Structure 1
Amino acid sequence: MISSLLLTLVLIVGVILFVPPVRRALISNRVLKIFRKILPKVSQTEQEALDAGTVWWDGDLFSGRPNWNKLLTYPKPKLSAEEKAFLAGPVEQLCAMLDEWRITRELYDLPPEVWQFIKDNGFFGMIIPKQYGGRGFSALAHSEVVMKISSRSGTAAVSVMVPNSLGPSELLLQYGTEEQKDHYLPRLAKGLEVPCFALTGPDAGSDAGAIPDYGIVCHGEFNGDEHVLGMRVTWEKRYITLGPVATLLGLAFKVHDPDGLLGDEKDLGITLALIPTNTPGVNIGRRHFPLDAAFQNGPNSGNDVFIPMEWVIGGLEGVGGGWRMLMNCLAVGRSISLPATSTGAAKLAARTTGAYGRVRVQFKTSIGRFEGVEEALARIGGNTYMMDAARVMTAGAVDLGEKPAVISAIVKYHLTERGRQAINDAMDVHGGKGICLGPGNYLGRHYQQIPVSITVEGANILTRNMIIFGQGAIRCHPYLLKEIHAASDTDATRASVQFDQAFSGHVIFTLGNGLRTLLHGLTGGTLGSAPGSVGPETQRYYSQLMRFSAAFAFLADISLLILGGALKRKERISARLGDILSLLYLCSATLKRYKDDGRPAADSPLLHWSMQDALYRMQQAFEGLLDNFPASGIARRVLRFMVFPLGKPFSQPSDKLGHEVATLMLSPGEARDRLTAGIYVPASADEPLGRLEQALQCAMVCEAVEAKLRAAVKTGRIPAQGDERIAAALKQRVITTAELELMGEMKSLRRGVIMVDDFPRDFGPEPGDEAASAPDAAPEQANACTASA
Structure 2
Amino acid sequence: MFAAVLLIALIGALAYYRAPVLAWTVGLAAWLASLQFAFGCPVSTIAWCVFALLALVLNIVPLRRAVFTGPVFGIFKKITPAMSQTEQEAINAGTVWWDRDLFSGKPDYQRLLAFPDAKLSAEEQAFLDGPTEQLCAMIDDWKITHELKDLPPEVWQFIKDNGFLGMIVKKKYGGLEFSNYAHAKVVTKIATRGGSAAVSVMVPNSLGPGELLQHYGTEAQKDYYLPRLAKGVEVPCFALTSPYAGSDAGSIPDYGIVCRGSYTDPRSGQRHENVLGLRVSWEKRWITLAPVATILGLAFKMYDPDHLLGDKEEIGITCALVPTEHEGVCIGRRHFPGGAVFMNGPTWGKDVFIPLEWIIGGREFAGQGWRMLVECLSVGRCISLPAMSVACGKVTTFTTGAYARIRDQFGLPIGKFEGVDEAMARIGGYTYQMEASQDLALTGLDMGEKPSVLSAVLKYHNTERMRKTINDAMDIHGGKAVVLGPRNYLARAYQSIPIGITVEGANILTRSMIIYGQGAIRCHPFVLREMKAAMANDAVEFDRAITGHINFVISNVFRSLWLGLTGARFAGAPRGGETARYYKQITRFSSAFALLSDMAMFSLGGSLKFREKLSARLGDMLSNLYIATACLKRFEREGAQKEDLAVLGWAVENALFDLQHAMDGFLANLPSRGLAWVLRKIIFPWGLTLKPASDRIGTKVARGMMEPGGMRDRLTRGMYVSPSEEDAVGVLRHALDAILATEPLEQKLRKLAREGKFKRVTARERLEEALQAGLLTQSEFEAVSRARKLKRDVIMVDDFDMALERHDAALLKRHIF
RMSD after superposition: 1.7
1:281-296 equivalence runs, <5 A = 281-296=328-343
How far residue 389 of structure 1 moved from its aligned partner, in angstroms, is 0.9
Question: Conserved in 2, the CA contact under 8 Å of 1:758 and 1:773?
Answer: no
**Residue 18 (structure 2) aligns with:** none
Q: What code does the residue aligned with 1:342 have? A: S
Identity fraction in percent: 56
| Equivalence for 2:56 | 15
Per the TM alignment, residue 25 of structure 1 is displaced from its structure 2 partner at its CA by 2.5
2:93 to 41, 49, 52: 52
Counterparts in 2 of 1:507-546, with a 5 A limit? 507-531=550-574, 534-546=575-587
Q: CA deviation at 1:711?
A: 3.8
SS at match of 1:743: helix
The residue matched to 1:157 in structure 2 has which SS? Answer: helix
- Partner residue of 1:787? none
Tell me, in whole angstroms, the C-alpha distance in 1 between the residues paired with 2:79 and 2:652: 39
Q: Deviations over 1:706-735 (max 9, x none)?
A: 222344455565689734654665577654
Q: In the TM superposition, what is the alpha-carbon distance from 1:693 to its structure 2 partner?
A: 1.4
Aligned mates of 2:670, 2:641 — CA distance in 1: 42
1:496 aligns with 2:539: yes
1:100 aligns with 2:141: yes
Q: Secondary structure in 2 aligned to 1:775?
A: helix
Residue aligned with 2:812, SS: coil
For residue 798 of structure 2, give the secondary structure of its aligned residue in structure 1.
coil
**Corresponding residue for 2:717?**
677
Structure 1: distance between partners of 2:768 and 2:359: 79
In 2, Cα distance between equivalents of 1:135 and 1:128: 6
Question: Number of residues paired by the alignment?
Answer: 767
The letter for the 2-side match of 1:775 is L
2:751 is aligned with 1:708: no
| Distance (Å, rounded) in 2 between the aligned partners of 1:176 and 1:776 | 58
SS in 1 for 2:275: strand
Tell me how far apart the structure 2 counterparts of residues 256 and 585 of structure 1 sit (CA, whole Å): 42
Q: Deviations along 1:456-476, whole A, 9 cap, x unmatched? A: 001110000000001000000
Task: Give the conservation status (yes or no) of the 8 Å contact 1:168–1:250.
Answer: yes
- For 1:351, which of 398, 402, 419 is the aligned residue? 398
Residue 479 of structure 1 corresponds to: 526
| AA matched with 2:459 | K
Deviations 1:461-504 (A, max 9, x none): 00000000010000001110011111112x4xxx2222111111
2:256 counterpart SS class:
strand
Instruction: Flag the 1:25–1:80 CA change in 2: closer, same or farther, 3 A.
Output: same
Give the equivalent residue in structure 2 for 1:417. 464
Structure 1 match to 2:686:
646
Corresponding position of 2:707: 667
Partner of 2:239: 198
Number of the residue aligned with 2:212: 171
Tell me, what secondary structure is at the counterpart of 2:132? helix
Describe the shift of the 1:720–1:386 C-alpha distance in structure 2 as closer, same or farther (beyond 3 A): farther
Letter in 2 for 1:428: D
Paired with 2:214 and 2:283, the residues of 1 have a C-alpha distance of: 26
**Partner amino acid for 2:568?**
G
Q: Unmatched 5+ residue regions in structure 1?
A: 779-789
Aligned twin of 1:299: 346
The CA deviation string for residues 746-776 of structure 1, in whole angstroms up to 9 with x for no partner, is: 22111111111111122234xxxx4447736
Matched, 1:146 2:193: no
Provide the C-alpha distance between the structure 1 equivalents of 2:404 and 2:659, rounded to a whole number of angstroms: 31
* Aligned mates of 1:546, 1:718 — CA distance in 2: 65
525 and 398 in structure 1: CA distance in 2 versus 1, 3 angstrom threshold: same
Alpha-carbon distance, 1:227 to partner:
2.4
Candidates 382, 401, 424, aligned match of 1:335: 382
TM norm structure 2: 0.92
Task: Tell me the equivalent position of 1:121.
Answer: 162
1:768-787 matches, within 5 Å, as: 770-772=807-809, 775=812
Cα distance 1:595–1:111, how it changes in 2: closer, same or farther (>3 A)? same
Corresponding letter in the other structure for 2:487: G
Q: Distance in 1 between matches of 2:374 and 2:178?
A: 22
1:206-355 equivalences under 5 Å are: 206-223=247-264, 224-355=271-402
Q: Is the 8 A contact 2:194 2:340 kept in 1?
A: no
For structure 2, the residue ranges without an aligned partner over 5 or more in a row are: 1-41, 265-270
Structure-2 residue corresponding to 1:691: 731
State the Cα deviation string for residues 524-566 of structure 1 (Å, max 9, x = none): 01232111xx341111111110111010001100000001111
Alpha-carbon offset, residue 736 of structure 1: 3.4
Residue of structure 2 aligned with 1:69, choices 104, 110, 114: 110
Q: Which moves more between the two structures, 473-482 or 609-618?
A: 609-618
Cα distance in 2 for partners of 1:49, 1:91 equals 35
The 2-side partners of 1:516 and 1:233 are apart by: 57
Cα-to-partner distance string for 1:181-208 (whole Å, 9 max, x where unaligned): 0010000001000000000001111100
CA distance in 2, matches of 1:575, 1:97: 42
The question of whether the paired residues in 1 share the 8 Å contact of 2:339 and 2:493 is answered with no
Contact map agreement 2:292 2:332 (CA 8 A) in 1: no
1:668 partner amino acid: P
> Does residue 447 of structure 2 align to residue 400 of structure 1?
yes
Residue-by-residue CA offset, 1:602-638 (whole Å, 9 max, x unaligned): 2111111111111111111111111111112x32221
Q: Distance in 2 between matches of 1:144 and 1:2?
A: 69
Instruction: State the one-letter code of the partner of 1:504.
Output: T
C-alpha distance in structure 2 between counterparts of 1:103 and 1:566, whole Å: 49
* Kept in 1: contact 2:340–2:493 (CA 8 A): no
Offset from partner CA, 1:1-31 (integer Å, 9 cap, x none):
9611111221222233333223223322322
How far, CA to CA, are the matches of 2:778 and 2:306 in structure 1?
93
Q: Quick one: distance in 1 between partners of 2:454 and 2:245?
A: 24
Q: 1:74 to 1:397 in 2, by over 3 A?
A: same
CA–CA distance in structure 2, aligned partners of residues 135 and 714 of structure 1: 64
**In 1, Cα distance between equivalents of 2:569 and 2:359:** 57
Aligned-partner Cα distance in 2 for 1:264–1:247: 35
Whether the 8 Å contact between 1:708 and 1:735 is mirrored in structure 2 is no
Alpha-carbon distance change, 166 to 777 in structure 1, aligned in 2, over 3 angstroms: farther
Partner AA of 2:552 in structure 1: F
Equivalent in the alignment of 2:6: none
* 8 A contact 2:256–2:301 mirrored in 1: yes
SS for the counterpart of 1:47 is helix
The residue identity in structure 1 corresponding to 2:311 is D
Aligned to 1:454: 501
Q: Does 1:635 align with 2:709?
A: no
Provide the TM-score with structure 1 as the length reference: 0.95
Relative to 1, partners in 2 of residues 1:774 and 1:691: Cα closer, same or farther, differing over 3 Å? farther
Kept in 1, the 8 Å contact 2:302–2:317? The answer is: yes
For residues 501-522 of structure 1, the C-alpha deviation after alignment (integer angstroms, 9 at most, x for no partner) is 1111111111111110111001
Please name the residue that 2:66 is paired with. Answer: 25
Q: Deviations over 1:208-251 (max 9, x none)?
A: 00111111111111343322111111111000000000000000
2-structure distance, mates of 1:733, 1:771:
38
- Distance of 1:450 and 1:720 partners within structure 2: 49
